[in-house]
A and B are shown apart, each in its own frame.
Chain A
Amino acid sequence: MSALYAVRDLSVSLPGQGFLGRLLPGRLLPGAPARIDILQGITLALAAGETFALVGESGSGKTTLARAMLGLVPVSGGSLHFDGVALGSARAFAGLRRSTAMMFQDPVGSLSPRMTVGALLAEPFVIHRRPLPLPGRAGRAAQAAALLDRVGLPARLAARYPHELSGGQARRVCVARAIALDPRLVIADEPTAGLDVSVQGEILNLMTGLGTALGIGFLVITHNLAMVRHIADRIAVLYLGRLVESGPAAAVLARPAHPYTQSLIASEPQPDPRRRRADLAIRGEIPGILRRPAGCAFHGRCPRAEAICRVTEPDLRDLGAGQQAACHFAPGQ
């Protein structure tokens, strides 16, 4: 298969009780299950150079999926393949991390406050024991300047500390760190959260521009559908740890098949007051993972739910043209 990164039937579960709970089963937290399924049955494939968006509310498992894909969370079932190589051992994941990079959600928090921007940009080379183009201090400075230039920042920023940067600048430094080792895949967790709209556009343009120029694939984790529309080639929608819909971004956003995707799109606030709607909001909140509803997990909030939805969990079905949805009432093939 030609996928850069293939996830097949991935499950992640965590112990439902602490150490004492396992020693004294059923005594401390009588209701808690032995293991909690955080993610179940996730199958997706990222092609080289494409931008893939992972969409869902907080608590849907987006970040856990990204962490599992980098080996940062133990996997309890299914398989992961990067470039055709199965990822199972710590050694395989270490190899993977040389050709992938992660942009964490909080840019200032993910940059060490004690290191200058220049040192932060040299760090990936040190960690992965990659030689710098030039040895020593001069090499580090040259490399930092080159990376800063690539992300549109002046070279003098190399001497600054993270707290001296604006939100947009910190975000750019994170992009520079991510592309430092010429990765083939960058996982970006909420790359524009907390940024002003104009700066948001700059960061996304920078990412897509670098992606095209350097052939980098992006996995973007976000709940911002307005942004996904403009940057993503394909999208997958997660709800309570399961995929509910996936497919080409244009098709999914134009003709969402799952009521959850439909409600997510419908709840986006519109800047045009003439398009103001009375029924903006989707009902209720995402239930806690411990109180996962039976049947279709979305039935409690779904406007179309019927008896079958409360009992039987729908499978992910092919709808044609690469689109899939897990809903009893999704339009058939």
Chain B
Amino acid sequence: MSAPLIAPLIEAAGLSVAYRGEDGAPPLQALRAVSIAAEAGEVVGIVGESGCGKSTLAAALIGLLPGNAVVTAGTVRFRGTDFLALPEAGRRGLRGRHIAMAFQDPMTAFSPVLTIGTQLTDFQHHLAGQGRAARRARAGAMLARVGIADAARVLDHYPHELSGGMRQRAAIAAALLMTPEVLIADEPTTALDVTMEAQIIHLLRELRRDYHGAIIVVTHHLGVVGELCDRVHVLYAGEVVETALVDDLYHRPAHPYTRALIACDPAGLTGVTRPLPTIPGRVPELAPPPPGCAFAPRCTLATARCHIEAPPWVAVGPGQGARCHEARPRGCDPGGTDPKGADANGAIR
């Protein structure tokens, strides 16, 4: 369950990414020593609030970091190959065919002046030995596969003629055209209504069942994580602060930030709660990051040491770890901590 016997399909190890500062400003350290992995057949969630580095991590995994980003340490390996060390041509060979991304904003992921059919056909340009008609038929089949009724007609539509839910499906279909082994879905449901969100969750569940690839879901929505993911990495201020199986993460969170996030989610509160719980304070500046634990200023458990000394990675239990001075291996602390009962030790106002 925990220690993989085979190498993971895709893996970031000790990855640090910085954005160059403008006019001599210090670089913004967007990711610091991030290690995550995804194996075939699993759905891995990357969770965190805005500014925590989720999108930078997604871009790094597919080798699409913007020009002002510098990888200062670490590797991204796909089937053991160091993806970031490859020349651009080599990366292009992997991207799309082996690692694909469904982009966050399906409105801007497509060109507004070409039909969906034209674009989905063009995306298959590196598919050798197939004519345009065959590629178009494949595009139609893929649209049907992601649950678009009347796919043949939708091929002739322009992006603006589709609803948000349909566009999101089309974006996922575009990513799946090359039957990639790794699908990265960046905030796949943010722009959608609850009903469409539920349908996209269903679609991704079906894909996991049918494709046996790895799906990486980047989201700030714990509902999406709870319904969809097997394993979760929680990011805060550019660091992985906790990694756990989804059940352990929700029922026995080890990091105070995870506990606070769960406590804040109104969907998890059963009774009517006023005022709603919040996390006091702000995400810290990352140019440069604070010396100790980045969450310490907002943490109710923080001691003097937390502000000075960077916390170690503590293995809490099978497959679960947290970057916290106060985290202890489970067994020393029998029984789980229920998030609802965590008010006493969680960072919750």
Contacts and interface: CB of A to CB of B under 8 A. Distances in A.
Answer whether A and B are interacting partners.
yes
Interface string B244-287: 00110011000000001110111111001111111100000000
A269 B267 contact: yes
Given A276-B226, A281-B202, A194 B278 contact: no
Contact of A202 (B260, B272, B278): B278
Given A270-B223, A272-B226, A282 B195 contact: yes
B303 interface: no
Contacts of B195: 57, 263-264, 267, 281-282, 285-286
Nearest to B232: A273
Contacts of A280: 198, 201-202, 227
Interface of B: 49-50, 163-166, 190, 193-199, 201-202, 220-227, 229, 246-247, 250-251, 260-262, 264-269, 272-279
B276 A201 contact: yes
B99 to A, nearest CB: 26
Given A273-B226, A273-B247, A285-B166, A267 B198 contact: yes
A284 to B, nearest CB: 8
11 contacts: A197-B266, A199-B278, A201-B277, A223-B193, A227-B266, A230-B269, A269-B197, A271-B262, A271-B268, A272-B250, A273-B226
B194 to A, nearest CB: 5
Given A230-B269, A267-B198, A282-B198, A197 B222 contact: yes
Contacts of B273: 230
Contacts of B199: 281-282
A295 interface: no
B251 A269 contact: no
For A273, A274, A282, which residue has the most chain B Cβ atoms within 10 angstroms?
A273
Given A194-B190, A269-B267, A282-B199, 11 more contacts: A197-B220, A200-B264, A200-B276, A201-B278, A204-B275, A230-B274, A269-B198, A269-B227, A271-B250, A273-B226, A273-B250
Contacts of B277: 201
B167 to A, nearest CB: 12
Contacts of B275: 201, 204-205, 208-209
Contacts of A58: 163-164, 193
Interface residues of A, number: 43
Interface in A224-271: 224-227, 229-231, 250, 263-264, 267-271
Contacts of A57: 193-196
Contacts of B197: 267, 269
B201 A281 contact: yes
A167 interface: yes
A270 B273 CA distance: 17
A202 B229 CA distance: 27
A204 B274 CA distance: 9
B294 to A, nearest CB: 15
Contacts of A268: 194, 198, 223, 267
A196 interface: yes
A272 B272 CA distance: 18
Contact of A273 (B164, B220, B246, B267): B246
A198 interface: yes
Contacts of B276: 200-201, 204-205, 230
B272 A269 contact: no
Contacts of A227: 266
B143 to A, nearest CB: 15
B164 A269 contact: no
A137 interface: no
A263 B197 CA distance: 13
Q: Which 8 A-B pairs have the closest CB atoms?
A: A269-B223, A201-B276, A226-B267, A267-B198, A271-B222, A196-B49, A205-B275, A281-B198
Nearest to B222: A271
Contacts of A204: 275-276
Nearest to B268: A271
Given A230-B273, A281-B195, A285-B165, A270 B267 contact: yes
A198 B224 contact: no
A298 B49 CA distance: 36
Contacts of A91: none
Nearest to B49: A196
For B225, B273, B277, B278, which residue has the most chain A Cβ atoms within 10 angstroms?
B278
